[in-house]
Amino acid sequence: MSDALEAEDAKLVALARGARGRVGAVSGAAVRDETGRTYAGADVVLPSLSISSLSLAVVQAVAAGARGAEAAVVVGSDPTPADVDVFRDLAGSGIELLVCSSDGAVRTRLTT
């Protein structure tokens, strides 16, 4: 299996890394919806709210009217099983979720 990324997946990695870096979060994520629009987010940790980067990106997609997803990337920490379930709720089964190190290198390729 090759770790070379298609251009659209490389864009997701760049968006996730940017979201993570802007706020110094442990994790950043990006989602591409069924129309090709992209959404990115970083971990949010407040006294009364915690949401992972992947869940945030999915919530942004849903709030914008997305009805499905083509791919997602998480940079930094591994997504929890609950976060993968949130992505699966939007994406359905058989959709790729890339987990990357902080430098953007693919560590794991998951499929919903």
pLDDT digits (tens, 9 = 90+) for 35-73: 999 999 999 999 999 999 999 999 999 999 999 999 999
* Residue 46 included in any domain: yes
Q: What is the pTM of this model?
A: 0.94
> What 3-state DSSP class applies to 20?
helix
Average pLDDT over the chain reads 95
CATH number at residue 73: 3.40.140.10
d(CA 51, CA 46): 9
d(CA 53, CA 103): 17
- Bridge pairing between strands 69-75 and 49-51: unpaired
Average pLDDT rounded to a whole number, residues 24-35:
97
* Residue 89 included in any domain: yes
* Residue 63 included in any domain: yes
CA-nearest of 85, 109, 106, 84 to 96 is: 109
d(CA 17, CA 30): 9
Find the domain containing 87 and state its range: 7-111
| Domain total in the chain | 1
* Residue 1 included in any domain: no
**Residue 53 contacts residue 27 (beta carbons within 8 Å):** yes
**Residue 7 contacts residue 53 (beta carbons within 8 Å):** no
* Residue 71 included in any domain: yes
